[in-house]
Homo-oligomer: A and B are copies of this chain.
Amino acid sequence: MGVHRAAIVGAGHTRFGVLEEGPRALLRAAVGAAFESVDRAPERSSVDEIFLATLGFGGWQIGNSASVLAEESGCVGVPVTRVENACASGGFALRAAARAVSSGSAELVLVAGVEKMTDVSNARRRYWLGVSGDTEWERLAGLTFAGVYGLIASRYLSEHRLGREALAEVAVKNHEAGALNPNAHFRKAVRTDQVLGAPRVADPLGLYDCCPVSDGAAAILVARADVARRFTDTPVWVDGLGASSDYLAVQERPDLVRFAATRRAADAAFASAGFDRSKVSFALVHDCFTIAELLALEDLGFAAPGEAPRLTLAHETRRTGRLPVNPDGGLKAKGHPIGATGVSQAYEVFAQLRGQAGARQVPGASHALTHNVGGAGATAAVTVFSVG
């Protein structure tokens, strides 16, 4: 993957939800928590590179946010690069950080992701989020993200002759996980009949099939292998990085129910990791809508096409199942503050692989995968990790 191995040595997280705090306070809190989480905390002055993931602009009237992060992390002077790949911003920022470390150009890198979404009007937010999908053929024709995923879900269910039960089970499972996560936006279990009976947002997707609009931030510290042991005896290794792009408009793609970007990113991540899917103890996948979790299982190679619903309904993706998926509640229940999401996934990997995930701990977890998507499959980052 590079000359040096990269390791996560610290991770911080704010609550996700409808929060009072603005983006500066959220960044400050997440970065502060990341430093405090390190077993033998480094000086802030030892950070030599910073990446910021945010969609930005919408919820805060502040640009040049790289400079804002330098201030709020107490690292003014350090190079900060803002990375924006729509909802995959965090995954791409993590990749940039791990590469900076593995190339030897940095020893200790800070990555932070943030979004402030709830103080924007609905009309403005529709534009702000909508432009991450195709504009010319989708958005201006009235198609929303829920609409695109609704079309994908319709096609998927029809292709495999299925009802909505597996979609509902994704919601039930992820809400149950969210209830155990103190940082989650939704900390309430829901029943299958509630999910199936909820108002439709974009047929066949109902209210509980959609992730919420959340505020929040997350931060991680990535260190070069030879210095990581200074900070902790239990670093979490970033073993494999994969990323890819696809056409922005879904109509340009040959298949509505397969995300080629996810497939290519996963193959690249495992190729660079040197271990295979069978090793993975749990996965954090981009479930912006319940259908997206089913697609992800298949595109990541954990299930054959059309098999994800069976796996899900057999509870194999529950925390106690064969391959736990989204034990943190996922985007669905934990929330989805755009730029923070990919970094939050790395936070969860750090907690889980060190056995510090409390009530939501996946027993015996040793290897993990994160999957972060921008737009309806237009860009994807997949990362694999291990401990020990």
Which A residues contact B (CB, under 8 angstroms)? Answer: 1-3, 50, 55-57, 61-64, 66-68, 70-71, 75-86, 92, 95-96, 99-100, 102-105, 127, 130-133, 135, 139-140, 243-248, 252, 260-261, 264-265, 374-375, 378-379, 381
Contacts and interface: CB of A to CB of B under 8 A. Distances in A.
Contact of A92 (B55, B81, B85): B81
A58 to B, nearest CB: 10
A374 to B, nearest CB: 6
A291 to B, nearest CB: 19
B247 A76 contact: yes
Contacts of A139: 61
A294 to B, nearest CB: 23
Nearest to A381: B79
**Ranked 9 nearest A-B pairs via Cβ:** A103-B103, A63-B131, A79-B243, A67-B378, A70-B245, A63-B132, A64-B86, A67-B248, A64-B132
A57 B61 CA distance: 14
Contacts of A246: 67, 70, 76-77
Given A100-B99, A105-B103, A248 B64 contact: yes
28 contacts: A1-B105, A3-B104, A61-B139, A61-B140, A62-B131, A63-B130, A63-B131, A63-B133, A64-B375, A64-B378, A66-B86, A66-B379, A67-B379, A71-B252, A75-B245, A76-B247, A77-B261, A77-B264, A78-B244, A79-B244, A79-B265, A79-B381, A82-B83, A82-B85, A83-B83, A84-B84, A102-B105, A103-B105
Contacts of A104: 2-3, 103
A139 B61 CA distance: 10
Nearest to A89: B82
Given A246-B67, A248-B68, A62 B105 contact: no
A96 B68 contact: no
Nearest to A106: B99
A142 to B, nearest CB: 14
Given A67-B375, A68-B248, A79-B243, A105 B99 contact: yes
